[in-house]
Amino acid sequence: MKNCETSCFPHPSNPSDPSGIPSSENDLPTARFGFLAGELYLFHPSDPACPDASSLWGMFGTRDLRGTLRLESASADLFRFRFGVELAPREYPFCRLASRDELRDYCYNLAVYESAVCPTLSVSVRREP
């Protein structure tokens, strides 16, 4: 699994700031990362490795001119999901592309959530007599 430092562009370290926090919004890895619509990413507020257990999982949709990301769906625990989430790079400066195993887990849990919470979204198969 790639960590955030290799999958997102690492921000330049600021020698005058021991915390390593980027000085501007454009220095954030999330702000400069080339996201692909429909891909799953893990976002973290403080850990560059973006561990799956403590990250926000989100399906990328679009980015506006201010740099705000719009996630089609997102979850912090893979049990509760939100839709149409706006995410500012400053909130979650670290990110990485999810592995295919993580994508499978996300899609499965999203389907379970939608079938339980939104049963009208479920598609029923119609059998011919």
**Which residues make beta-bridge pairs with 40?**
59
- Return the CATH fold of 4-121: SH3 type barrels. (2.30.30)
The three-state secondary structure class of 52 is: coil
- Model confidence at 121: pLDDT above 80: no
- Model confidence at 97: pLDDT above 50: yes
- Amino acid identity of residue 23, one-letter, is S
Sign of CA dihedral 74, 75, 79, 83: negative
Determine the Cα–Cα distance for residues 9 and 11; give it in Å rounded to an integer.
6
- Model confidence at 110: pLDDT above 80: yes
Question: What residue ranges do the domains of the chain occupy?
Answer: 4-121
Q: What's the pTM value of the predicted model, to 2 decimals?
A: 0.70
pLDDT of residue 6: 36
- Model confidence at 1: pLDDT above 70: no
pLDDT band at 54; cut points 50, 70, 90:
very high
pLDDT of residue 129: 56
Is 18 exposed, middle or buried (CB count within 10 Å of its CB: 0-12, 13-18, 19+)? exposed
- Model confidence at 116: pLDDT above 50: yes
The CA-to-CA distance between both ends of the chain, in Å, stands at 49
pLDDT band at 120; cut points 50, 70, 90:
low
